[in-house]
Amino acid sequence: MTTLKESFRGQRMATIPESLLAKYKDDSLIGLLFLRKIGYFPHAKYHHVKKNDGCSYALLIHCTDGEGWVEIFHKRITIHKHQYIIIPADTPYSFGTDNSNPWTIYWIHFCGKLINTFAPSLVEPRAKDVSPAESSRLQERTHIFEEIFSSFSMGYIREYMAYSSMCLYHYLASFIFLEQYRDFPSQAHTPPTLIDRMMHYMNENVSQNLSLQDLSQYFHYSPSHISAIFSKQTGMSPINCFLRIKIQKACYYLELSNLKIHEIASTLGFSDPAYFSRLFHKIMKVSPQNYRNNEKAVPVKD
């Protein structure tokens, strides 16, 4: 894997050589749809890209915080939080962040014989909404991204590259067929309670910094009333619960990923890694690094 020098704190990016991509292009399985590059840029201030002649690949940008813009067909499109856009191949474009409210983006470059199926060149791109909702599956989409990133990072081995390509269909479908993606049947057969709905909403926004006011506005209760209901049934305040959900997710990353601690902090919406570490220690009674040392899975030798 080739990785460029970090430009934004918490940035991750993976790519493989063009010579290897040319080989995969002719592969009967991979060549239909495959990645060229993948990345995650948190709070990417001063981020700007311009391609006067377009590119041979399509580009998906998914904004999860802040905002930015894409200029294409002489039209500037604002990309807000919880929106995405797909830029087709061979189309001149430029894009950039809003420096006063820098975007956080997940992005992929993808190629293959089916590229126009997922990014038709004759359709004018526009920003589309994938905001959190009671039927949304934001965390599952993020898990798919992480699985693709991990597998693509091993792309020198054909089987890993093939697996990342297979996962790419699911990832793109989660945007393009949003209604069908969200219509995946729930295991629950009873209507969710307010607490169920709040817990789901907090899990879906684990990378954000929700306030009590945010929760009260979304669920149409006053801050004091929604706090009282939640505290009575759970024994803790909504924000205290939300912070514990963040730390629970941090444990997942510490155990099952190779993300650095400051990258995990950034992924979970903490701008200050030191504060994240203090909060983690307060809740888990151990530092993030010691938790990783104690809990990270170690392969068992035969």
- Distance of alpha carbon 79 from alpha carbon 69, whole angstroms: 5
* Cα–Cα distance measured from residue 65 to residue 62, given in angstroms and rounded to the nearest whole number: 9
Q: Are 251 and 268 in contact (CB under 8 A)?
A: no
3-state percent helix, strand, coil for the chain, nearest multiple of 5: 45, 20, 40
d(CA 173, CA 112): 16
Q: pTM higher than 0.95, yes or no?
A: no
**pLDDT over 50 (residue 2):** no
Indicate if the pLDDT at residue 188 is higher than 60: no
Q: Identify the pLDDT of residue 40.
A: 92
pLDDT digits (tens, 9 = 90+) for 67-125: 999 999 889 999 999 999 999 999 999 999 999 999 999 999 999 999 999 988 777 88
Question: Using CA atoms, how far apart are residues 247 and 151, in angstroms rounded to an integer?
Answer: 25
Q: What pLDDT, on the 0 to 100 scale, is given for residue 186? A: 54
Who contacts 241 (Cβ-Cβ below 8 Å, separation ≥6)?
199, 202, 230, 234
Which residues, other chains included, contact 78 with Cβ-Cβ below 8 Å and sequence gap of 6+?
Answer: 67, 68, 69, 127
* CA dist list (Å): 237 to 128, 136, 216: 34, 24, 13
What is the distance between the alpha carbons of residues 35 and 58, in angstroms, rounded to a whole number? 10
At 85, which helix (H) or strand (E)?
Answer: strand 83-87
Quick check: helix, strand or coil at residue 3? coil
